[in-house]
Amino acid sequence: MAPSAVVNLERTAAVVFDTDGVITDTARGHAAAWKRVFDAFLRERAERSGERFRPFDPDEDYLRHVDGKSRADGVRGFLDSRGIAPDPDTVAELAARKDASFLAEIHEHGVAPFPSTVELVRELHRRGVRTAAVSASRNCAEVLRAAGVTDLFDVRVDGTDAARLGLAGKPDPALFLQAARQLGVPPGEAVVVEDSLAGVRAAGAGRFGVVVGVDRHGNGESLRAAGADLVVTDLAQLRLHGRRREPLAPHL
């Protein structure tokens, strides 16, 4: 275990967790859903135009262009990388197809939480530290419920809240800042745990106390370059130091 992978709880009032890829093992399901949608779109476009069909890469394209973003921002980000400027109807249609594809994926295969994340959240509660689950997805509540971890978190901020409150998506820090507001803590006293580059950048822009990058894809250097203070490959590697002198109200 790297000695630097330590969070000082004397300076930490709350920990904010990204959902997909940090709490739940759903990043692969998202990537697979995006691939089905984008490949169908790109193949049809190639057949019409005579261009070479170049499929969506569920590793590189997913991490660079869609991971951590809202569906609409993901559509725009990926298509922009291919030199395609989609009209609003195309963005909405592809986003809707991706949503349907992902929901079919989780209904068929279920959702598993990462055991080390569950244990970390429970240990944080034992030490009086509050927690939040954050996601750009409007399916966050369903994903957490399917994984059986809804009750682990004091606060949830997701794509439904973003639409209702007019919050910008990552890499804007609005989702994380809203979670901090609902937790009642200043950003400087909160830790953000993220696996996406957009999410790490968002946490840095929000001036959170510590940003932990979770490298599940071999992109640790990119997470550091994006602003992660600590990088681990699994949250079992994260050490907690001390506990708050005046513990917050216990998690119910």
Distance CA 245, CA 127 (A): 10
Instruction: Take residue 215 and report the two structure tokens written for it.
Output: 């490298």
- For residue 45, CA distances in Å to 41, 54, 82, 85, 123 come to 6, 11, 12, 13, 50
Place of tokens 């904010």: 16
- For residue 81, CA distances in Å to 59, 76, 92, 197 come to 15, 9, 18, 16
Which residues are within 8 A (CB) of 84 and not within 5 positions of it... i.e. 6 or more apart? 45
The strand pairing partners of 192, in sequence order, are 16, 211
Distance CA 189, CA 168 (A): 22
| Distance, C-alpha 20 to centroid of its chain | 5
- Catalytic residue of the set 20, 67, 73, 195: 20
- Catalytic residue of the set 18, 61, 154, 161: 18
Distance CA 32, CA 39 (A): 10
Mark whether 20 is an active-site residue.
Answer: yes
Catalytic center residues: 18, 20
